[in-house]
Structure 1
Amino acid sequence: MAKGRAGQFARLALPCLLLVLAALPAQAQVYIPPPDDLVEELPVLPPDVDPVLPAPAPPPPSAPNTMSAEEAKAEARSTGAALRGAYQGLTQEAGAAGQVPGYQESYPGQTQYYTNPEALQTDGAVAGWNSEAYRTANSTTRPTVNVTRSDLARATAIEADPDAYLEGMSADGSTGDCVPLPPGSGTANTAEWTCHVGSQVVEQPRTCTNSLTVAEWNDMLYQYACVIAPRFDGCTALAGNGQCRRTATYPVPDYNLTIDYYDCDTAVSDPNAYLIAALPKPPPADAFAVVSNAYRCNAEGITDALTFDPVTGMPLQYVTGLQQCGTIASDTTCTRTSPAAAGLAERVLCKTWDFIGDPFGGGGYLTCIEPAAPEEVYLCSSNVAGMTAESAVSKWFTQAWTDSACSIDPASCTLSTETCTAPGEARIIGGVAVTRPCWERTRTYLCQSVVGGGNDCGALETQAGCSLAREVCLDDPPSADGSCAVSERVYSCPIPGTSEEPAQYICGGDVYCVNGDCEAVEREASDEFKDSVVALNALGQANAEFDEAALTLFRGTRESCSHKVFGLSNCCSGKGVPLLTPWLCSSAEKLLDEKDDAGLCHKVGTYCSSSFLGICVTKKDVYCCFQSKISRILQEQGRPQIGKPWGKPKTETCEGFSIFEFQQLDLSVMDFSEVYADFMEAAKLPDEAAALVQIQQKIADYYAAHKP
């Protein structure tokens, strides 16, 4: 660290060397090259009129015959301060450009090199040889100054023991030769919060249940023929039936007759209509076919048995080849049903029977003494291995959802959820087991209605430090009579946890030395340094953000966020305020919030993005976001200068400045205080520079204590 601090002081010797060089005879004038030529054709520059120089400062009073070193230094500082004040604004005077040596009032002729760049090297060598400044700088006989080590004796002494000169100074401005910088605005301590008053749209849930109706498709097509004679019309019943359509007509000239053919959806009962054929109609496109196999089985292990009348007990039939149920009950394609539903005859099996009476006398009979368990009947949509179907049916069915008594207005209600309350059941329809994924569903709708008197501004109205900034009507389109159904109120409120920006300081870091006697240069704090840094950065941004395709500068991107009016969902928190409902916001809206907090976005305004019956439901905040704070500030403060307002929030496209528009901007009147904090590191003293300030003071203390 000692060597580092000493190295800092060693760099203080540079101003001393410059003063020594300045004392030598001048060999040539300093040549400042003219400004670079521009690509586009530009208007003629203003003439280089000599600025009106301020009156020179009065001469200092005559020095007394005897003057101490301290008195001479004080007089020099006084004279320098007066001259600095007199000439400080010289560069801002009209025609100041004409005072620059070598400056040309018109654009130079270097445009010839656009098409012949190879000539640059040759012409440059010739110009350099003809330039006195170039010859002086490259002369091998120019005077030089040899600095011996003895000339740096005091610097080497401090380098050897720097800690002896580092006491009593502070880089925070509390002690030492430091003065505070003018405060900048820095990060804002307030943010804008919004609320709403007026009519609001409320949502209420409504539930309706729908059921699936499945019907067997068994429609028939009836084909008829009828005869028409001169005094007999046998087609009257068919022609007057709305369910019938004439398909063909055949005249019979030999008998002076005409035969017409009709297709009818229903049977026609008329003696003059002759039925030709009855055909099943083809099913509609949304119909579905179901194959149903009916199986009988028993769980008693019986393979043959008598059937009997359960009332009288009399035997009816001896049956064989009975099947066991086995695994048919667990088959997912099978549904257990009753014989009647499956279209089979009902029967009761007898497991054990006996003969009652005298078998030889002819008066006896058989009776069941042990009935078997009832048979099981299954309807299956596929063939079951190892089982024989007693019947096989294939039928077509149609289906349709029927609404309940609940009426839903599609204009004001939107479907929210749908739940199946009767899934995957198999129902017997027309003797066939029909399985559908869902037989009944419950739908929940959110239905909107308008109510008046909405106001969610209570918290902001009573919060300390909040003040109403403005009020915006959200009606779109606006009312013809000037009334407003829904208004947005914008309040300016302090951001919790924020504090004022700490004071910044600039410290005198320059030292000049003459004959080994060093003096610190005193500086006054001003905005000039910060404004210069910001202006240079603005020019750098102009180069970085130049759009070669559109020939524009500082173009922004349009971004927006949504906010439900009178609702919880809010993705537009505002600068410095965290998102209230981040889980409801898109990734683009979250990124916009980060950009806005970083000071990269300008809020264009708010517009209603969705409404119900003319009442705004959802609004959108529109922003123009830029690549840097300076770009945003240039847009915000430059547009009023050239009369280029922001567009309406619904249509703003965040255009950049054209080259001509940018040339008209006056950056000197713009307020860049918001970005001063970003460039403050250039004015702050790092640790090493703080040691430099301490060394300066120690030098002055040293000379004060060792005066001859």
Structure 2
Amino acid sequence: MIPQALRSAGFGALLLALAAPLAAQSTTDAARAEGKAFGRDRAAAAQAAATTAPDARRVPNFGGTPSASSSYFDDPERMSREAASQASSHAGYEAMRSSIDRRARFARVDLDATIARAKLIGTDPLAYTSGMGVGGTEGRCVPLPPGSGSGARYKATCNVGYAVESARQSCQVTLQASVHMVSDYRYDCPRGDPDCAGLTLAGCTLTGTHPGRCLQGYRDGNRFVCTEPGEPIAEYTCPAAISGLTPLSVTTRQIVDTARDESPCAALAADTNCTAPTETCTDSDPVTRIIGGASVTQPCWAWRRDYLCNCLTPAQDCSALAATPGCTLEREYCLTDEQPCRTTERVYDCPVPEGQASANQFICDGDVYCIDGSCETIRREANDEFKDAAVALNALAQARREFDPDSLTLFRGTRNSCASKVFGVLNCCRGKGFPLIPGIQLLVALGCSREEMLLHQRDAQGLCAYVGTYCASSVLGVCLTKRKVYCCFESKLARILQEQGRKQLGKPWGNPKTEQCLGFTIDEFARLDLSQMDFSEVYAEFTDAARLPDELQAVTDIQQKIEDYYARARH
């Protein structure tokens, strides 16, 4: 049996008591024997506990009389009442209550306002932190000088001239019928008779033959049998009497003549602009009619003939571009080689619409420099040459990346083209100046190729330079479909260098049908004056790239933690 002292000491003391004799054994066998003995002892104790009637005296630390805590069984609420009465004098309880009472409390409207301000500051933290003096007062801010050039621009095109419209034109064809009497003259001509050749030459036709006179035979009862027939006789029918011959018979008959009167359709049939005629019967009832006393039957007596004719109508789609602020007409040229010119394209130079107006940039005083406890405000002047230096350095880096050692050229582009209907709805050439279309699959389904959609995206990103347009298909000297040609580059900076560098070198783009977007030679690039180029289109990109995102991310993290705390406080 386990000693009473070990029962009172609890399960931890029991483990120590078990571990002491086991640790004293020096061999594994002795430890195993000790363990078996302990197991038998505990098995016997468990069996005795299971077979012995309960006895209060066997309960450890129970003297036979219930303690005062047993009264809680009859009145469970008593424990709560006694705890509440003693709480006011308990030190731990008082410390907890005091901490709750002293905790800072915020109204919900104040928390909402704080979060709103944090979000506003997070959109542009520099606007709220720049220009502060050492005393916490706001300093004086001076706007930065504007850039030396305009913003991004693009070439927009429109057309003036004629549009080809297809219209259906119809005319009426009627069937004319007439009846007249004719005479048929019948002549017989023995084979071999020279007069037979004259009948053929006179327009007579061979209509039959019959046997000639029998030369020899015999009579068999009432039947005559010819044993030697004569030459067969040819039967000729002639439209008129033959001089010198006597016809065997003359008969008369009615002739019905029918002819289609197509004179109302002669003008349309001679017009080369009208094609693909189709005929539809418009008069077929009744099919049999009395003409000149004779019955004439025809399946149709009149038809409507339809022609598809092309006609020219004046058209233009330049009104919107001409009225757009900032768009100026750059040039105008004929799309086709025919004279007079019937399709003219106008090229406008337009600014790219800004999605959101950019805020003015300022430089503020209030920068504080302190050393050895002495502080003084540093006044700075804006440096408007930094952007030019940054662009020049980036241009050199870009030139190194895009140098082609095989051709010894720089900034080579790739030729791309897209098609659009002149005065048509479908336009696969929208790029810079127009928003990117989210539903590209729709335009592909309507007829635009995936290559044209890729050109649309690259041009909208400012990577492509417009070369020109040429007519791809025309009718009657009017251009129906045109192709716009672009040279696309690896970066916006390379595109600007090509566009403005060609102007400096006097090297314009070639014919749109043959332009291959070749790069600058080393000599040509060395002759470029970058200081005379307008890089304002890329200044904003350099400014955005220079702003570190760490401070913005920190504000976002703090704001999220405040919102998380506020959400927990509600629950």
TM-score range relative to shorter protein: 0.3 to 0.5
Whichever structure has more helix as a proportion of its residues is 2
**TM-score for the superposition, normalised by structure 2:** 0.44
**TM-score for the superposition, normalised by structure 1:** 0.36
- Which one has the largest radius of gyration? 2
